[in-house]
Amino acid sequence: MDTDQKAREGYHAALQMISYQGVVIWSAFQSLLTANAVLIALAGAGAALKPLKLDLPLIKLLTIILCVLGLIVCLSWVLITARNRDHYHYWFAWARRYEKEIFESEVAMIQRGEAFSNGAYVEEVKMIMGCVARLSKVLWLHFVVIAAFVVLWIYVFVLAISSVG
């Protein structure tokens, strides 16, 4: 197998891994979003017993435990998201490397895609990514969703603590 063929196979493998890693990222996001939603519903139900004048110390304790578990899930979510995104960028780096070796400059879609995502005008397709799209990186939006859950967990925790006594 010659060097060009090896590079083509490496390029193909990198593209497959980019696709796979994208699926992994969204699967992890959906799973952890669902886990948080279920836990927050259970914890919220426990914290909501205070207005009903039900004094159930076990429910309050379980609510506090669920809040702690929820915050641990959020921390895990951040770490999983960061790791998955790094793998995703790793495979793109390999694809760009092999693309340079194999193709002429006019076929450098992955190269141009990186420039496009950074706001550069791509002459070959006559496009530039808009300002709002450049500012709304998916990774940061994932972290915004996670932060929203952290705020909810703290709120439910405060409700649960304030109902103790």
Give 81's contacts (C-beta < 8 A, 6+ positions apart): 25, 28, 29, 139, 142, 143, 146
Please give the pLDDT value at position 165: 47
Domain ranges for the chain, please list them: 3-162
Predicted confidence at residue 39, as pLDDT, reads 93
d(CA 70, CA 72): 5
pLDDT mean over 121-130: 86
Contacting residues for 159 by C-beta, under 8 A, at least 6 apart: 47, 48, 50
Asked if residue 3 has pLDDT above 70, the reply is: yes
**pTM for the full model?**
0.81
pLDDT digits (tens, 9 = 90+) for 131-162: 887 777 788 889 999 999 999 999 988 888 88
3-class SS letters over 69-126? HHHHHHHHHHHHHHHHHHHHHHHHHHHHHHHHHHCCHHHCHHHHHHHHHCCCCECCCC
Token digits for 35?
């886990």
